[in-house]
Structure 1
């Protein structure tokens, strides 16, 4: 029994006398009645979550009291059993009906047994006994294995990062999975409950994530950072916005905002961005990377740069390359080729027989090629088709195809004729010459988390040179493509930071092919004027860098071995003003926030209509969960080239997989759309006239 000087009333406060609801004085958890409060304080699992803040002596006292009471109740209810000597855990073996069982003389449940039953909440129907699956197999003695606090937090991080419903922790299959991880040699105790995930685990993980975010924020003083904007419209028509901050140490989540009704209000956006700048520190921000080229956002950027003379405004490189590809895709020859390619893929993927035949005859599983960026899918798929063109032609010339019913349908004949048409494949080759250098350039710029601002200028130059080479120097072929690229580059993508990054990258500056043109010079001058407090001094130090004097000369041979930022840290010490400025410029990204593909549903749930009331405690918990979820996703985003360029799965209803103009009915009577098409051979197949993005 507990000591007389430890009373339960001293450790709980009545919050509802009618319903006997008591709040723990240590952790403020509310339970029903003093009996549950004793279990809560004594660490007895089963009916209530144990208190994690109760003093050890109080926990021990109430734990002994509850266990003693449970032991007395159980002994009184069971009494003396007949036959005597019944074991506490039944051991099953494969015996005949004549076999006699040897049992102990008496049954006295141990304190450990009662504690285990109370902790695991064993069913009263079987008395908490464990039975092997096969009664003819000797049971394997299992031991109780308690999860450590770190293990419980690791489980919590899994739930927070993936966005799983916390109630999944109580699903039996989840517990089976956890127990199976010990090869059934242990029964795991301490698997977090939904209340644990909402309570103490969330708070502990929040502290860890907050500490990681703070360490990244501290690095902004030396490297600076870029503010990334990512906007979207949800199913309710609301315009929402993610705001992130990126630097070489990592990207952190700042906040999510509902800008519905203000998305074209420049004054509102300026106030919003001023608040972000104040939070991050204006001295730490070098650029804002936006997600749209809309006129109102462009005007916002112009006025923002006028107000903040040390910050640049640019557009995400992935969006700009998307716009370049869209301009190229609007050309009649390119558009027609993509429509024909979509006709082939939608036909092949929409029929099981044709798809299986394609997989048997080619080296690919699907013709439609996945990508993290949906607007790249048409061009990657066209490349996939072109590489497999001979095998695809064999498919439509095979005996299996010619003897199939599909070969006699209108769409079947149309696709077979298209596949055999050499002019289509020549057109596909020309489209790939014009577009694939851009696709490869974006993959290079998005491949890992290393800042690419030192490479984007040269990358875009190499893209144009590759296109010229693909067309064998024929100006009439490559110049229209160049014009489309230059239009987006000059109006949206190019920033003085890009030109400065190119010049300050020692690998390019000390190379024979360095391009010292007026665009590069004006870019470096603009950066020095906006970002440096001593323009003349930094310009004089730049001359030493360009001539390779002193320590710079020693670093020329290492220009390729070190990242540009690391190179300046090592060899730029003789010119500290230029060194600091170079490191800050070279530490910036040209990627937008869309690269991280953050889940938006949690932010949509948090940004509820302000007219709808929400419990303040629930709103605070959801805000913590939002912070933890997005920062865990950003921390675990692939950071190495070895992890590759991430791809998303293609939706089964993607218009390059199925023809969106077809009648797609449930297979209730075993009738597929191809069966319907055979009955309507006189109807022509209508194709999508647009370039998918």
Structure 2
């Protein structure tokens, strides 16, 4: 948007409140309806897969989004606020059946959901009600659950907690953050991933890459003369940043998780269908993890 404004140059008149909420909104709706018509033709021609995605927004409302995937792409169908409802299998099955009826039962090939117990049970109810239906678990969620289990291993859990403590401590204190960015040439150590556990592992990878910078940051005279060095949190962070054992376990976390992150990138992308590559990617990840950890104790 900013780039477009810059290309227009001086004298751009922004739309009024009325233009935004009436003519421009109507125009956007017409364009979306045309896009939906194109999608609906593809649903009838190829068949399609309704998908669900549950999340909680900033206001604490728990929403379930329904999307439809086909060779033409993925289309947002609707969202339902289920905060005040009991999210059991019967309720979820009813919601899915409503969406399937909107799409047309004859057009639906399979339903894709995450792997929560309630969603699994709902898939069972749907298959009994609609015998022609296939139900499939979300591959990205499966891999995320594997990563969650890896992160819970006793050898790795404490390291991930320390990594979060380190990044939180650095980003809460402006001078320390500025000093770190100066040494990393403006690079941040927190890296966002597709999921919460992917973010944790990518951040550990970034910490490992910048460990020399962090050791110098917490080991120089400026740090020891600062007020932060005398705080309980500062002493705790300082102790494991300069610990060889901490960095060794960070490396173990990376070896145990990065191959799965590569699989997650394959299945979480939307450029091409991922199922054809999933099996080979998982075998490759298992071999890579085994090779990286075979000499490590505790794995």
1:252 aligns with 2:75: yes
Q: Return the alpha-carbon distance in structure 2 between the equivalents of residues 180 and 456 of structure 1.
A: 43
**Conserved in 2, the CA contact under 8 Å of 1:362 and 1:391?**
yes
Q: Return the alpha-carbon distance in structure 2 between the equivalents of residues 243 and 225 of structure 1.
A: 13
Specify the alignment match of 2:193 in structure 1.
Answer: 371
Q: Return the alpha-carbon distance in structure 2 between the equivalents of residues 221 and 202 of structure 1.
A: 29
1:278 aligns with 2:101: yes
Q: Return the alpha-carbon distance in structure 2 between the equivalents of residues 364 and 183 of structure 1.
A: 32
The alignment of Structure 1 onto Structure 2 pairs a total of residues equal to: 297
SS of 2:275 mapped into structure 1: coil
Runs of 4+ in 1 over 6 A off after TM superposition: 177-180, 473-476
Specify the alignment match of 1:454 in structure 2.
Answer: 276
Higher relative contact order (Cα pairs below 8 Å, separated by 6+ residues) = 1
SS of 1:454 mapped into structure 2: helix
**Conserved in 1, the CA contact under 8 Å of 2:127 and 2:133?**
yes
Which of 232, 238, 249 is matched with 1:427 structurally? 249
Specify the alignment match of 1:213 in structure 2.
Answer: 36
Which of 124, 147, 150 is matched with 1:325 structurally? 147
SS of 2:273 mapped into structure 1: coil
SS of 2:80 mapped into structure 1: strand
Unaligned ranges ≥5, structure 2: none
Specify the alignment match of 2:113 in structure 1.
Answer: 290
- Per-residue deviation at 1:442? 0.9
Which of 382, 385, 388 is matched with 2:207 structurally? 385
Specify the alignment match of 2:223 in structure 1.
Answer: 401
Unaligned ranges ≥5, structure 1: 1-157, 159-173, 478-693
Which of 127, 137, 160 is matched with 1:305 structurally? 127
Q: Return the alpha-carbon distance in structure 2 between the equivalents of residues 275 and 414 of structure 1.
A: 54
1:349/1:265 Cα in 2 relative to 1: closer, same or farther (>3 Å)? Answer: closer
1:347 aligns with 2:174: no
Matches within 5 A, 1:39-58: none
**Conserved in 2, the CA contact under 8 Å of 1:228 and 1:290?**
yes
Q: Return the alpha-carbon distance in structure 2 between the equivalents of residues 370 and 395 of structure 1.
A: 23
- Per-residue deviation at 1:334? 0.7
Matches within 5 A, 1:505-654: none
- Per-residue deviation at 1:475? 9.9
1:334/1:474 Cα in 2 relative to 1: closer, same or farther (>3 Å)? Answer: closer
- Per-residue deviation at 1:379? 0.9
Superimposed CA distance per residue, residues 396-447 of structure 1 (whole angstroms, 9 cap, x where no aligned partner): 3323334434334444343333222111111111111111111222123223
Q: Return the alpha-carbon distance in structure 2 between the equivalents of residues 386 and 257 of structure 1.
A: 41
**Conserved in 2, the CA contact under 8 Å of 1:226 and 1:289?**
yes
Q: Return the alpha-carbon distance in structure 2 between the equivalents of residues 326 and 240 of structure 1.
A: 23
1:404/1:269 Cα in 2 relative to 1: closer, same or farther (>3 Å)? Answer: closer
Q: Return the alpha-carbon distance in structure 1 between the equivalents of residues 215 and 244 of structure 2.
A: 11
SS of 1:455 mapped into structure 2: helix
Superimposed CA distance per residue, residues 557-609 of structure 1 (whole angstroms, 9 cap, x where no aligned partner): xxxxxxxxxxxxxxxxxxxxxxxxxxxxxxxxxxxxxxxxxxxxxxxxxxxxx
Superimposed CA distance per residue, residues 510-555 of structure 1 (whole angstroms, 9 cap, x where no aligned partner): xxxxxxxxxxxxxxxxxxxxxxxxxxxxxxxxxxxxxxxxxxxxxx
The TM-score normalised by the length of structure 1 is 0.39
1:364/1:374 Cα in 2 relative to 1: closer, same or farther (>3 Å)? Answer: farther
Q: Return the alpha-carbon distance in structure 1 between the equivalents of residues 110 and 88 of structure 2.
A: 21
Which of 270, 288, 298 is matched with 1:466 structurally? 288
1:234/1:435 Cα in 2 relative to 1: closer, same or farther (>3 Å)? Answer: closer
Q: CA RMSD in A?
A: 3.0
Specify the alignment match of 1:264 in structure 2.
Answer: 88
Specify the alignment match of 1:121 in structure 2.
Answer: none
1:326/1:372 Cα in 2 relative to 1: closer, same or farther (>3 Å)? Answer: closer
Specify the alignment match of 1:526 in structure 2.
Answer: none
Q: Return the alpha-carbon distance in structure 2 between the equivalents of residues 462 and 475 of structure 1.
A: 22
Q: Return the alpha-carbon distance in structure 1 between the equivalents of residues 284 and 235 of structure 2.
A: 42
Q: Which has the larger radius of gyration?
A: 1
- Per-residue deviation at 1:218? 0.8
The TM-score normalised by the length of structure 2 is 0.86
